Amino acid sequence: MSDPIAEAIARLRARQGPQGGDGQAGPHTRAEPSQQALRMAEALLFAAAEPLDAETLAARLPAGTDIPATIARLQEKYADAGVRVTEVGGRWRFETAPDLAHLLAEIREEPKKLSQAALETLSIIAYHQPVTRAEIEEIRGVAVSKGTIDLLFELKWIRLRGRRRSPGRPVTFGTTDTFLEYFGLAAITDLPGLGDLKAAGLLSSRLPANFDIPDPARLADNEDPLDDEDAAHFHLDFLEGAEDEREE
C-alpha cells in the first residue's frame, strides 16, 4: 500500500526544487518560459507595428515570465527560418532573413533618396550628437539649408535633444530610435567605424584624438532639456540670420 505521508513529503520536495547533498536547497535555476508564453510573445512581435521593449512584453505575458529567455528561445526557433527575431535600439521585432530580402525588393517602400548634403548632415549628427546647427556648418564648411533638416525630421531620423548652455541657447540635434530601426542597429555604438566614414568624406578629418560616439539618451554636461514651448518654436533659432544662406 502507498504511504500518504511519504507521498506528501515527496511532493513538497518537488515544489522546493533540487537540493544539495547536505539537505539544503541547491542553486536557483532560471525557469524555462512556458510554451504558452512563447506563443504569446510570438504573436505580439508578429502583430506589432513597431519593435517591442521588455517592459511592453512583460506587461502582456504571464507574470514572472523571463523576457530575455523567451526572446532567446524565439531567436533559436527562427534562426534558420524565413523571418528572424532581431534587436533594434533595445527592442525586438520580426524581420525578413537577409538572404531573402530580394523577394521584397519590388514591394518594399523606400524613403526619398538622400542628397549628399543630407547624408553628410545625418552622419555628423549621428557621430557628434548633441550637435548644434552652427557646429554642423563648421564641420561641413557650408551652411545647412532648412530643407535638409526638414527632410531628416520628416524621415524621423533626427530629433531635438536640448539647448546648449552657450550664448543664444541654440538647440541641439540627435538621432532617434527610428534611425536605429531603419539601419538595423541595436545601439548607436554599432555604427560603422570612424575610419570608414572619414575615408568616405562623411566626417571631419579634424576630430579630437580621444573622440568617441556619445550616448544619445543622455544629456551632455553643457546641455539642458527642451520644454514643450522650446520644441514648438525651435525653428526661430534655426532661421535666425539664415534667410540668405544657401546649400552649396
* pLDDT higher than 70, residue 13: no
The pLDDT value given to residue 30: 54
The pLDDT value given to residue 167: 81
The pLDDT value given to residue 157: 92
* pLDDT higher than 70, residue 27: no
Q: What is the per-residue DSSP string for 97-147? A: -GGGGGGGTTT---PPPPPHHHHHHHHHHHHH-SB-HHHHHHHHSSPPPHH
Query: Using alpha carbons only, how large is the chain's radius of gyration in Å?
Result: 26
Query: Is the model more confident about 199 or about 19?
Result: 199
SS3 content of the chain, % helix, strand, coil (to 5): 45, 10, 45
CA atoms within 13 A on the CB side of 68: 2
Complete domains list, the chain, with CATH: 35-104 (1.10.10.10), 116-239 (1.10.10.10)
From the number of C-beta atoms within 10 Å of its C-beta (0-12, 13-18, 19+), residue 236 rates as exposed
pLDDT band, residue 239 (cuts 50/70/90): very low
Q: What is the mean pLDDT of the chain?
A: 76
Specify the 3-state DSSP secondary structure of 158: strand
* pLDDT higher than 90, residue 8: no
Residue 176: CB atoms within 10 Å: 17
The pLDDT value given to residue 244: 42
Q: Tell me the mean pLDDT in the region 184-211.
A: 66
The pLDDT value given to residue 246: 41
The pLDDT value given to residue 20: 45
Q: Picking from 24-28, 86-90, 100-104, 146-150, which range would have the lowest pLDDT averaged per residue?
A: 24-28
The pLDDT value given to residue 165: 80
* pLDDT higher than 50, residue 142: yes
Dihedral sign computed on CA atoms, order 57, 58, 64, 68: positive
Q: Tell me the mean pLDDT in the region 143-151.
A: 87
Nearest to 130 by CA among 172, 189, 73, 71: 172
* pLDDT higher than 90, residue 170: no
